[in-house]
Structure 1
Amino acid sequence: MTRRERLLARQLPSATVLLASTDADGDPEELKLRALPADEFEQLMAEHPPTDQQREDGAIWNEATFRPALLSRSEVPLDGEESLSWEDWAQLMTLLPFGEVRELFDTALALNDRAPAAELGKDS
């Protein structure tokens, strides 16, 4: 396989996040997230610009709208189920504990921020 073929065959990274169960059965809720193609991620950031105050504070997106948007686009639905919508994720942000929201969002961000490891030579 050539380098071109190997690069074109690459899959977007994914990860599974387990949320604590609130059911009587005690099974955790499993959510699979995947990275977006770079152009899709950049477009998503552009669609959710920070407010003036957020920009002054150093933000590069509006967290209130970007977080549910990223999660709705990153979620890989279970077989036979539909992905949750932006509205579903926005509602979940108000219902889930902060730690679970942070873990989901941080995982989605990390999947989209996979910088290749730089290997520097001996005299670099």
Structure 2
Amino acid sequence: MTTAAKSQESAWAKKMERLRRRSLPERVLQIFDDAALRAEYDEAKRAADRARILAESDAGNGVFAERATEAARRYAASAAALREASVYLTFRALPRPLLEELLNAHPPTDEQGADGAAFNPDTFPAALISASSTDGMSETEARELLDAWSAPDANALWESAWEVQQEARADRVDLGKD
């Protein structure tokens, strides 16, 4: 083997090792139930944005700068309080063969298939939520939440688990010609 061929083989081996080490995409669903805390956060964010814009419009005005600093503190405190009061669920993409195996384990009924379904919508969502949960949520627990929560909340849970399966990590950047 020539030196050039060995160099090319070594470069490819390094590249392949880097590709093998890539992590799977993850998605986090933030859940909070305190409407007053959310309203405080939203208002603090709006106030901080307004105060910052006003301070930037008159950079020499110490009063505006002080108000912007105080509004930023209030916003940071409300964001911290919202984070503390939240529950976070993390979902990780499954390797393609595992996702296909899960899909095959939950085929649509004849009627669902006739309507164009690729999987059984009655059984697959809880199975996928459980399989992709990094928190250890069981399929029974996922089914319980899907059945007990409102439609928008249940959809958010399902979408977090499903959408992470669709996220591409092969980002491409066109750097133009050298």
TM-score range, shorter chain: 0.7 to 0.9
Change (3 A) 1:54 1:117: farther
Q: Which has the higher helix share?
A: 2
Q: Distance in 2 between matches of 1:31 and 1:99?
A: 16
Match of 1:85 among 110, 119, 138: 138
1:3 aligns with 2:15: yes
Q: Is the Cα–Cα contact under 8 Å of residues 21 and 29 in structure 1 kept in the other structure?
A: no
Structure 2, unpaired ranges of 5+: 1-10, 35-80
1:45 aligns with 2:84: no
- Which amino acid is the alignment partner of residue 102 of structure 2? L
Q: Distance in 1 between matches of 2:150 and 2:160?
A: 16
Q: How far does the alpha carbon of each residue in 1:63-111 deviate from its partner, in whole angstroms, 9 at most, with x for none?
A: 111000000011111xxxxx12111111111111211221221222221
Show the counterpart of 1:98: 151
Give the TM-score of the pair, scaled to structure 1: 0.81
Q: Distance in 1 between matches of 2:167 and 2:146?
A: 25
For the residue of structure 2 that corresponds to 1:15, the secondary structure is: strand
Report the more deviating stretch, 108-117 or 40-49.
108-117
Aligned residues: 114
- Percent identity between matched residues is 30
1:14 aligns with 2:72: no
Deviation at 1:119, TM superposition (A): 7.8
Match of 2:167 among 114, 117, 120: 114
Match of 1:35 among 93, 105, 108: 93
Report the more deviating stretch, 91-100 or 56-65.
91-100
Q: Which has the higher strand share?
A: 1
Q: Distance in 2 between matches of 1:31 and 1:52?
A: 33
Match of 2:120 among 37, 46, 62: 62
Q: How far does the alpha carbon of each residue in 1:32-84 deviate from its partner, in whole angstroms, 9 at most, with x for none?
A: 1111111000000000000111101110000111000000011111xxxxx12
Deviation at 1:6, TM superposition (A): 1.3
Deviation at 1:118, TM superposition (A): 7.1
Report the more deviating stretch, 37-46 or 88-97.
88-97
